[in-house]
Amino acid sequence: MASSSLCFPTTSAAGARTTLRPDVSGFLLSGHRPRTQFKSRSFDVRCSLDSNVSDMSVNAPKGLFPSEPEHYRGPKLKVAIIGAGLAGMSTAVELLDQGHEVDIYESRSFIGGKVGSFVDKRGNHIEMGLHNWILGFQLEHQLHGIRAFLSTNQLKPYDKARNALALALSPVVRALVDPDGAMRDIRNLDSISFSDWFLSKGGTRASIQRMWDPVAYALGFIDCDNISARCMLTIFGLFATKTEASLLRMLKGSPDIYLSGPIKKFHLRWGCREILYDRSTDGETYMTGIAMSKATQKKIVKADAYVAACDVPGIKRLVPPTWREWEFFDNIYELVGVPVVTVQLRYNGWVTELQDLERSRQLRQAAGLDNLLYTPDADFSCFADLALSSPEDYYLEGQGSLLQCVLTPGDPYMPLPNDEIIKRVTKQVLALFPSSQGLDVTWSSVVKIGQSLYREGPGKDPFRPDQKTPVKNFFLAGSYTKQDYIDSMEGATLSGRQASAYICDGGEELVALRKKIESQVLTEAASLTDELSLV
Ligand SMILES: Cc1cc2nc3c(=O)[nH]c(=O)nc-3n(C[C@H](O)[C@H](O)[C@H](O)COP(=O)(O)OP(=O)(O)OC[C@H]3O[C@@H](n4cnc5c(N)ncnc54)[C@H](O)[C@@H]3O)c2cc1C
Q: Among 231, 447, 489, which is best to mutate for testing ligand 1, by the most ligand atoms less than 8 A from CB?
A: 489
> Are 224 and 71 a contacting pair, CB within 8 Å?
no
User: If you write DSSP's letter for every residue of 466-503 in order, what string do you get?
Assistant: PSB-SSTTEEE-STTSSSSS-SSHHHHHHHHHHHHHHH
* CA distance linking residue 455 with residue 335, whole number of Å: 7
Between the CA of 196 and the centroid of ligand 1 the distance, in Å, is 29
- Tell me, letter by letter, the H, E, C secondary structure of 298-335: EEEECCCEEEECCCHHHHHHHCCHHHHHCHHHHHHCCC
Please report the pLDDT score of residue 266 as a whole number: 63
Question: Omega before 376 cis (within 30°)?
Answer: no
Q: Among 133, 267, 455, 488, which is best to mutate for testing ligand 1, by the most ligand atoms less than 8 A from CB?
A: 488
Between the CA of 115 and the centroid of ligand 1 the distance, in Å, is 6
Q: pTM for the full model? A: 0.85
Please report the pLDDT score of residue 61 as a whole number: 44
Please report the pLDDT score of residue 502 as a whole number: 96
Q: Whose CA is nearest to atom 31 of ligand 1?
A: 85
Tell me the CB-side half-sphere exposure of residue 331, using CA atoms within 13 A: 15
Please report the pLDDT score of residue 304 as a whole number: 97
* CA distance linking residue 446 with residue 422, whole number of Å: 8
Please report the pLDDT score of residue 533 as a whole number: 58
Distance of CA 167 to the CA centre of its chain: 26
* CA distance linking residue 169 with residue 163, whole number of Å: 10
CA 183-187-191 angle, to 5 degrees, is 155
> Residues with Cβ < 8 Å from 71, sequence gap 6 or more?
98
> Are 205 and 238 a contacting pair, CB within 8 Å?
no
Number of Cβ within a 10 Å radius of residue 68: 12
Amino acid at 505: D
**Tens of each residue's pLDDT in the chain, 535 residues:** 565 655 554 433 222 222 222 222 233 333 333 333 333 333 233 333 334 334 444 444 444 556 677 889 999 999 999 999 999 999 999 999 999 999 999 999 888 999 988 888 888 888 888 877 655 445 555 666 677 777 777 788 888 888 888 888 888 888 878 878 888 899 999 999 999 999 999 999 999 999 999 989 989 999 999 999 999 998 887 777 665 554 566 777 888 777 777 776 666 779 999 999 999 888 899 999 999 999 899 999 999 999 999 999 999 999 999 999 999 999 999 999 999 999 999 999 999 999 999 999 999 999 999 888 889 999 998 999 999 998 988 999 999 999 999 999 999 999 999 999 999 999 999 999 998 999 999 999 999 999 999 999 999 999 999 999 999 999 999 999 998 888 998 899 999 999 999 999 999 999 999 998 888 777 776 666 666 555 5
CA 63-174-225 angle, to 5 degrees, is 90
Q: Which ligand 1 atom is nearest residue 105's CA? A: 43
- Tell me, letter by letter, the H, E, C secondary structure of 148-168: HHHHCCCCCHHHHHHHHHHHH
Between the CA of 321 and the centroid of ligand 1 the distance, in Å, is 24
Q: Which ligand 1 atom is nearest residue 270's CA? A: 43
Between the CA of 86 and the centroid of ligand 1 the distance, in Å, is 7
**Does residue 16 sit in helix, strand or coil?**
coil
Which is it for the CA torsion 183, 189, 191, 192, positive or negative? negative
Q: Which residues line ligand 1 (CB under 6 A)?
A: 11, 82-88, 105-108, 113-115, 128-132, 271-272, 309-311, 314, 318, 340, 342, 406, 449, 452-453, 478-479, 487-492
Please report the pLDDT score of residue 500 as a whole number: 96
Number of Cβ within a 10 Å radius of residue 312: 24
Amino acid at 438: G
Amino acid at 528: L
Helix and strand element counts for the chain (H, E):
19, 20
Between the CA of 85 and the centroid of ligand 1 the distance, in Å, is 5
* CA distance linking residue 26 with residue 177, whole number of Å: 26
Q: Which of 228, 255, 272 is nearest to 81 (CA)?
A: 272
